[in-house]
Amino acid sequence: MDGEVVDMRSHDAGDSIGGSRGGPDSQLAAVMHPLDTADPEPMRTKSQILQEGLLLVPNLAKLLFRLLLDRRVPGSRRLVMAVAGAYVALPIDLIPDAIPVLGTVDDLLVLACAVDYLLRVSPTEVVADHWDGSDEGLELVRGVAAWGVELIPDRLLRLMSPR
């Protein structure tokens, strides 16, 4: 039977999968899982994925602003986000914005570190109270922020980490 292709479909309209006539197929129990019968979701285009990501930006901005104002988040943690926001907003950077690509990347990585830190250390219920989007959207934000942190060398992360 090795390498042999076996047609498991019934040849008789009255037979069920697995057959009931005592043939070799009758030994197999056919159990259909609901996911096996569901139509697969169509693949999303790059522009659709980008659009979904961009739709998270307003929710993320509102979340960060609300966490900065919420007294349930300790002041030292809110200060980290405020400093990161100032770094991104101010024209003075470690890598000047005039340098194509790299000037923006350093801002994005600092922001990713701050968002990752703030979401990790803030109480889950506080984050949930202030998030306007879906749970999947919040998980995507968490994943992207964590991915941004992974791009930074460990030695530099230790320098940036709040004590």
Mean pLDDT: which of 1-5, 13-17, 86-90, 94-98 is highest? 86-90
Q: What is the pLDDT of residue 11?
A: 46
CA distances from residue 41 to 17, 38, 44, 48, 102 in whole angstroms, order as listed: 26, 9, 9, 14, 37
Give the pLDDT of residue 104. 83
Mean of pLDDT over the chain: 77
Tokens of 124: 């889950």
Q: How remote is the C-alpha of 13 from its chain's centroid?
A: 46
| Per-range mean pLDDT, top range of 24-33, 85-94, 97-106, 112-121 | 112-121
35-56 pLDDT, tens digit per residue, is 556 666 777 787 877 787 788 8
Report d(CA 108, CA 88) in Å as an integer. Answer: 8
Q: How far apart are CA 144 and CA 84, in angstroms?
A: 17
21-25, 35-39, 84-88, 101-105: the lowest-pLDDT one: 21-25
| Each residue's pLDDT tens digit, 113-160 | 899 999 998 999 999 999 998 888 899 899 888 988 888 888 877 776
pLDDT of residue 163 exceeding 80, the answer is no
Global pTM exceeds 0.75 = no
Write phi, then psi, for 98 (nearest 5 degrees).
-70, -20
CA angle (49, 137, 85) in 5-degree steps: 95
Our measurement of the distance from residue 136's CA atom to the centroid of its chain's CA atoms, rounded to an integer in Å, reads 7
- What pLDDT is attached to residue 67? 92
* Alpha carbons 132 and 83: distance in angstroms, whole number: 24
